[in-house]
Amino acid sequence: MVDIMVHGNPIPVRERTRRAMRAELTLLAQDLFAAKGYDQTTIEDLVAAAGMSKRTFFRYFTSKEDLVLGKYELLADRLTEAITARPREEPVWESLRRAFDVIVEFFDDERQLARTLAMEKVICANPALSAGELERMARAQEQLADLLRDRMGRPSPADPTPAAIAGAALSCLIAAKKTWIATSQSRPFGELLDEAMAALRPA
C-alpha cells in the first residue's frame, strides 16, 4: 500500500505516476545490471526493455548511477530524521548507533535482501559506483555533522570534532556493512555494528 497522503496533503497525480515510473524502471534496471553487469548494460538496452526513448529516461533519472544509488538519498533523510528524534541529553555516540537502526533495518529487510545484496555486489564491482556511494554518504555525513555540532554545544565551524565524529560513526557503519557482506551474513548486521562502534567511543 502506497501512501497517498503525507502530512495531510495529497500527493498530486503527476508526482505519483512519476514515482511509480521511477520505481518500475529501477527494478527493471537492477535486474539487468545483476544479470549482465553494470557496464555491459547500456541505457539503450534499458530503454528498449522499458519501451521508452533515451530522452525520456533522462527525464526520470539524472544519470545511470541514479538507478543504483537513488535510494541513498532517501536513506540519508531517514537517518537525519532518526537522529533528531533522539533525546538531546543522550550521548551522541549512542544517538548515532540508535539512528543507524534505520539503515540496519533496511539491509535486514528479508523481502529485499536478495536484491539489496545483488546491488551491493554491483556497486563493489564498479569503482565509479563505489565512488558515488561514498560521495552520497559524505553528503549525509555533512548533515549529520551539523546536527551534532548543534547537539554538542560546539557552535564554532572551526571545530573539526563534530565532522570527525560523524565520519567515524559512518566509518563504523561501512566497516560493519562490508564485514556483514564479506561473511555472507553469518552474524547479524546490528551486532557487527555494535562491535565496530564499541571499539571507538568518543572521549
Partner DNA sequence: CCCGAAGTGCCACCGAGTGCCAAGTGTGCC
Partner DNA sequence: GGCACACTTGGCACTCGGTGGCACTTCGGG
Q: Which residues bind DNA (CB under 7 A)?
A: 13-14, 18, 21, 41-44, 51-56, 58-60, 62-65
What's the sign of the alpha-carbon dihedral 152, 154, 157, 159?
negative
Applying CB under 8 A, among 50, 134, 150, 185 the residue interacting with a copy of itself is: 134
Q: Which is nearer to DNA, 26 or 141 (CB)?
A: 26
Greatest alpha-carbon pair distance for the chain in Å reads 56
Q: Which is nearer to DNA, 125 or 198 (CB)?
A: 125
Residue 89 vs residues 42, 151, 177: alpha-carbon distances, Å: 51, 9, 28
- Cα–Cα dist 120/122, whole Å: 5
Residue 53 binds: one of DNA, a copy of itself, none (C-beta under 5 to 8 A by kind): DNA
> 3-state secondary structure string, 77-142?
HHHHHHHHCCCCCCCHHHHHHHHCHHHHHHHHCHHHHHHHHHHHHHHHHCHHHHHHHHHHHHHHHH
Applying CB under 8 A, among 46, 68, 170, 190 the residue interacting with a copy of itself is: 170
Q: Which is nearer to DNA, 31 or 108 (CB)?
A: 31
From 80-88, 106-114, 116-124, 170-178, span contacting a copy of itself (CB under 8 A): 170-178
* Amino acid at the residue 48: A
Determine if 130 is a binding residue for a copy of itself (CB under 8 A): yes
- Work out how close the CB of 126 gets to a copy of itself at its nearest, in angstroms, rounded to a whole number: 11
Residue ranges in contact with a copy of itself by CB under 8 A: 127-128, 130-132, 134-135, 138, 145, 157-161, 163-168, 170-172, 174-176, 178-179, 182-183, 186-187, 192-193, 195-203
